[in-house]
Amino acid sequence: MNINKFGESHKYRGHTLPKAAVALVNTAALCGWIVGWQWQQDSAGHAVVTVQVGDSETGERFQYTWHSRATSGRSLRLFGTGLYVPERGHAENRAPSLKAATHRVREVHAQRS
């Protein structure tokens, strides 16, 4: 996944990153985590964005995907539960809520401060 910055590719075919994604990305970036997102089209031409934030020190990471299917093409909906890796080398698990992921990013940052 590419590391992106707002202003470069935060918009895609009339869509912008969802507010929850922006909150997670901003929190992670401010806490020193690596952030990235990638826009794509699914096979029916709907917009899909995958957002990933990760701690470069431990390999802990969260990944969430939003899509525009069944939204009349006007908005994006969270797809599935997301993926969570607790540390480098561990298997992917079902991700917690976005709120819990944002809290975890802050928690890791506070432990290091």
- The residues with which 79 forms a beta bridge, in sequence order, are 65
- Specify whether the CB–CB gap between 60 and 27 falls below 8 A: no
Spatial neighbors of 14 by CB under 8 A, at least 6 apart, are: 73
Euclidean distance between CA atoms 113 and 50, whole angstroms: 29
pTM for the structure as a whole = 0.86
Domain of 51, in residue numbers: 1-19+47-91
pLDDT digits over 16-56, tens only? 888 999 999 999 999 999 999 988 888 888 888 999 999 99
Asked whether residue 64 is domain-assigned, the answer is yes
Asked whether residue 52 is domain-assigned, the answer is yes
Total number of domains constituting the chain: 1
